[in-house]
Amino acid sequence: MGVEGIGASVARKEDKRFLTGKGRYTDDMSVPGMKYAFFVRSPYAHAKIKSIDMSAAKDMPGVIGILEGKQLQADAIGNIICGWMIHSRDGSPMKMGAWRPLAHETVRYVGDAVAIVVADSLGEARDAAEAVVVEYDVLPAVTEAVKALEAGQPQLHPEAPNNLIFDWQLGDGDAADKAIAEAAHVTEMTIRNNRLAPNPMEPRATLGIYDSAEDHYTCYTTSQNPHVARLVMSAFYNVAPENKLRVIAPDVGGGFGSKIYIYPEEIVCLWASKKTGVPVKWTCDRTEAFLTDAHGRDHVSTVKMAFDKDNRITGLKVDTIANLGAYMSLFSSAVPTYLYATLLSGQYAIPAIHANVRTVYTNTVPVDAYRGAGRPEATYLLERTIETAARELGVSPAELRRKNFIRTFPYQTPVIMTYDAGDYEASLEAAMAASDWNGFAARKAEAARRGMKRGIGMSCYIEACGIAPSAAVGSLGAGVGLWESAEVRVNAVGTIEVMTGSHSHGQGHETTFAQLIADRFGIPIDNVNIVHGDTDKVQMGMGTYGSRSGAVGMSAVVKALDKVEAKAKKIAAHLMEADESDIVIENGELKVAGTDKVLPWFQVALAAYTAHNLPPGMEPGLKEGAFYDPSNFTFPAGCYICEVEIDPETGTTEIVQFVAADDFGNIINPMIVEGQVHGGIAQGIGQALLENVHYDPQNGQLITASYMDYAMPRADDLPSFKLSHQNTPCPSNPLGIKGCGEAGAIGSPPALINAITDAIGNNNLTMPATPQKVWSAINAVN
């Protein structure tokens, strides 16, 4: 490892622009003639639109144009779609209701867009939007998935009777039933996974620019995957053909899944730019973000976990109802199915597993992937259940887990996945040592003397990253392949540009991807530029989500580097009259092994471009591209331990220590990996302790529509974290990387809730464990 190579904690190349105010986010963009958009949105959770009267609004100062859904439909702009087909257990396809970018018949959640106002200033656009008179026929609304399935509830889409989108299963139901019937002990629980709002700090924004001379569109947008945005807007929404649409995702201020999807606003602003003849910029405010960004989680499950007399898990049966909101967002169907039920084996050898998942329409904003996407739900369910089982069986939670760990690899679970490598015990041991697990009883006693209730809890998570082998996901219903692309362009002076289809919105790709080049060729990372986020500059790519940029995106870079290296060696061998197999590259030089013959990197690059003396038949230039399609998922895993102290008078939980022991395979930049874990844990703690989306069940109004009511984790809610790594390299990709972006959010919630329930002696507690809930739970058992 060099100082800037693989494994080095290199400070980030991108930091200076962010630290000096020179970052360029979508809302920072401004072009001549640009005007501002404000959306007229439904104030009702469910209503028929009777009429839209724009006459007064059109005469307001500064107004350039007001457009509605009928015009959008007349221009043949398509409905928003879900890109992953799921079939119900009876073989029928999922029931997808129409999601129009601008509703003109029915609105189905508070915030559903109805019209767009374009004006000289944002203030004027908003003034005029208030003057658009929409007459609604208000309908009853339903916000909870379990209730929406009941008879007599409001019906959202005619395509989906009883609001049921699909009723899907995975695994062997008979085998799971048999295991439960024959079990020495069965632990049964009802598990709720609370609904969350992703809240990247940069609100969504888009700038649509139509060039009438070229009949060409440019879309600046807050996207994790600009190419997918272009593909979907071209192929399905009929905004423009791909060659007439450039999508640019410049600096993006966090995503966490919520910026994967193509939302109505991008589509409408592009279309509105053509209709009004001006560039149109829309920037979401935070309340709009709460109302319209896809939410995450929102599952209600029942689980039965069966044990034999030796406390080995013999079977698992899960029934889950998942709320998908008012419409099916881009990947919504995949989250509670293939990203969830396929992880229900956890780190444990469970011979029989069956999962039944029903997804449901409700009058709430669509629900889709949010950091972890399905895997936090699976982990929370399993790790709460096994912890509860340990308490019921009177055994140590660590021992129960240890007894059931998978120990030989590859391991085929009963729910599709083939785990390739791991050492679960190593992380368990490391976490227990780091947390001084054995010293807990003394700490608990000391806390009790101060009148405080102390508890400790653990969670052993596994997740599937490196999404994903294209043929495999295709066979499971995905509408796209999930490979990644890279192009490595060596300039004539030896500097390098890497075009990647991955997109960095905080992950530090401009540094870590450059480290691959520094490692391979020994040239400084300052001589390497990572180019991403612009469909005009970068070849087709699939973007960043599901902790895939390292395992998949970097693997594509490695494949391209292999080709560049091979060609550079051929050129060097030719110039130095040596055998190609004797050429080695180190410290920015190409050398003939065992001799003093050497050529600096830049000279080889220059030779490739002058082309005066290349091997016979070789094309000039030094630029190679590659597409990498993974052969398997990757399986990061680890053990998290949380220790809490609870004030019984107020129910306040203080996290006194949080330990994370992770196996991410090989690591490119430990500093950045740790940063990812910190952030993930904070979001997991947020879910467990603070965050909850609350809709009024009577009328579907969003109560938690700002930071006044949605509790975001702040610095004083959190401790510093103790991290360690126990890495087993991933065998399926060239760098041995597993991925680290989501682990923290996946592993932490059950550790925290296990700790709190341990402290208070009441296992009946839902997330978020607010002071009021904890206080009530304490009083319920005292």
Please, which of residues 244-283 interact with another protein by CB under 8 A? 251-254, 256
Site for another protein in 84-123 (CB under 8 A): 121, 123
Candidate list 250, 679, 736, 749; residue touching another protein; CB under 8 A = 679
Specify the residue, 764 or 772, whose C-beta has the smaller distance to another protein. Answer: 772
Does position 34 interact with another protein (CB under 8 A)? The reply is: no
Token pair belonging to 384: 């709460």
Say which residues have a Cβ less than 8 Å from residue 289's Cβ, sequence separation at least 6: 197, 199, 203, 204
Distance of closest approach, residue 304 Cβ to another protein, in angstroms: 32
* Sign of the torsion angle spanned by Cα atoms 267, 273, 279, 280: negative
Distance between CA atoms of residues 242 and 238, nearest Å? 10
Is 39 a residue that touches another protein (CB under 8 A)? Answer: no
Contact 767, 706 (CB under 8 A): no
The answer to whether residues 437 and 755 touch, using CB atoms and an 8 Å cutoff, is: no
List the strands of the sheet with 528-531, edge to edge.
528-531, 496-500, 484-490, 623-628
DSSP H or E run through 83: none
**Least distance (Å) between residue 403 CB and another protein:** 32
Report how far residue 677's alpha carbon sits from residue 660's, in angstroms, rounded to the nearest whole number: 8
Q: Which is nearer to another protein, 337 or 687 (CB)?
A: 687
Which part of the chain contacts another protein (CB under 8 A), choosing from 133-141, 212-220, 226-234, 714-722?
714-722
- In whole angstroms, how close is the CB of 527 to another protein at the nearest point? 19
Q: Phi then psi for 275, rounded to 5 degrees?
A: -65, -35
Which residue lies nearer to another protein by CB, 123 or 615?
Answer: 123
C-alpha of 419 from chain center: 21
725, 663 in Cβ contact below 8 A? yes
Residue 707 contacts another protein per CB under 8 A? yes
Write down the H helix ranges in 642-742: 670-685
Tally of CB atoms within 10 A around 457: 23
Angle between helices 264-276 and 226-235 (to 10 degrees): 60
- Which backbone phi and psi does 81 adopt, to 5 degrees? -120, 165
Q: Which of 699, 704, 724, 762 binds another protein (CB under 8 A)?
A: 704
Among all chains, which residue has been given the structure tokens 């409905």? 79
Question: Please, what is the angle between helix 743-760 and helix 771-781, to 10°?
Answer: 40
Here's the x/- map for another protein, 763-782, by CB under 8 A: it reads as: -------xxx--xx------
Question: Is residue 557 a contact partner of residue 735, using CB atoms and an 8 Å limit?
Answer: no
Q: Give the residue with the Cβ less far from another protein, 624 or 674.
A: 674
Q: 355 — alpha (psi -120 to 50), left (phi > 0) or beta?
A: beta
**Piece of the chain touching another protein by CB under 8 A; list 143-151, 274-282, 505-513, 627-635:** 505-513
Q: Which of 562, 694, 731, 766 touches another protein (CB under 8 A)?
A: 694
Residue of the chain from 56, 493, 709, 764 that contacts another protein (CB under 8 A) = 709
Q: How far is the CB of 396 from another protein (least distance, A)?
A: 29
Count of other CB atoms within 10 angstroms of residue 192: 15
Answer yes or no whether residue 192 interacts with another protein by CB under 8 A: no
Q: Does 220 bind another protein (CB under 8 A)?
A: no
Residue (524 or 719) nearer to another protein, CB: 719
How many residues of this chain interact with another protein, rule: CB under 8 A?
77
540: which residues sit within 8 A by CB, 6+ positions away? 227, 231, 485, 501
Instruction: Say how far apart CA 120 and CA 37 lie, in whole Å.
Output: 9
22, 48, 407, 537: residue in contact with another protein (rule CB under 8 A): 22
Cα–Cα nearest to 457, from 759, 775, 772:
759
DSSP helix/strand/coil, 750: helix
State which residue, 732 or 748, has the beta carbon closest to another protein.
748
The verdict on 552 binding another protein (CB under 8 A) reads: no
- Residue with smaller CB distance to another protein, 457 or 744: 744
Residue 719 token pair: 């401790």
Binding another protein (rule: CB under 8 A), the pick from 83, 111, 203, 543 is 203
Strands (E), 501-578: 528-531
Decide: is 437 part of the binding site for another protein (CB under 8 A). Answer: no
Of the candidate residues 336, 374, 455, 506, the single one contacting another protein (CB under 8 A): 506
Tell me the two tokens of residue 118. 């374009």
Q: What are the start-end ranges of the E strands in 593-705?
A: 598-600, 623-628, 637-647, 652-663
Residues 121 to 150 in contact with another protein, rule: CB under 8 A: 121, 123, 126-127, 130
From the list 132-140, 337-345, 576-584, 649-657, the region that binds another protein by CB under 8 A is: 649-657
654 binds another protein (CB under 8 A): no
Contact 533, 549 (CB under 8 A): no
Question: Residue 50, Cβ neighbours under 10 Å: how many?
Answer: 9
CB of 531 to another protein, least distance (A): 18
Which ranges of 211-361 would DSSP assign to H, the alpha helix? 226-235, 264-276, 286-292
Minimum Å gap between C-beta 740 and another protein is: 13
* Choice between 575 and 671, CB closer to another protein: 671
Output 117 or 390, the one with its CB closest to another protein. Answer: 117
Is 407 one of the binding residues for another protein (CB under 8 A)? no
Q: Which residue in 491, 711, 762, 766 binds another protein (CB under 8 A)?
A: 711
Q: What mask, x for binding another protein by CB under 8 A, covers residues 720 to 749?
A: xx----------------------x-----
Pairs from 232-235 (Cβ < 8 Å, separation ≥ 24): 232/81, 232/83, 232/262, 232/330, 233/262, 233/266, 233/267, 233/270
Select 494 or 739, whichever has its Cβ closest to another protein: 739
Of 201-209, 238-246, 328-336, 389-397: span binding another protein (CB under 8 A): 201-209
Quote the least distance from Cβ 771 to another protein, whole Å.
7
Q: Is 201 in the site for another protein (CB under 8 A)?
A: yes
Q: Cβ closer to another protein: 397 or 546?
A: 546
Q: Which structure tokens are listed for 590?
A: 């190409």
Q: Taking CB under 8 A as the rule, does residue 20 contact another protein? A: yes
For tokens 């060239």, name the residue: 734
Which is closer to another protein, CB of 402 or CB of 678?
678
Nearer to another protein, 17 or 537 (CB): 17
> How many angstroms from the chain centroid is the CA of residue 720?
24
By CB under 8 A, the residues from 284 to 303 that bind another protein are 285-287
Residue from 18, 411, 440, 609 that binds another protein (CB under 8 A)?
A: 18
Q: What is the DSSP letter of 163?
A: G
Q: Rounded distance, CA 115 to CA 103, Å?
A: 8
Q: How far is the CB of 723 from another protein (least distance, A)?
A: 9
Phi, psi of 643, deg, nearest 5? -120, 135
Q: Which stretch binds another protein (CB under 8 A): 71-79, 233-241, 377-385, 708-716?
A: 708-716
Q: Residue 677: phi, psi to the nearest 5?
A: -65, -45
Told to check if 23 binds another protein by CB under 8 A, we report yes
d(CA 771, CA 711): 12
Q: Would you say 433 or 718 has its CB closer to another protein?
A: 718
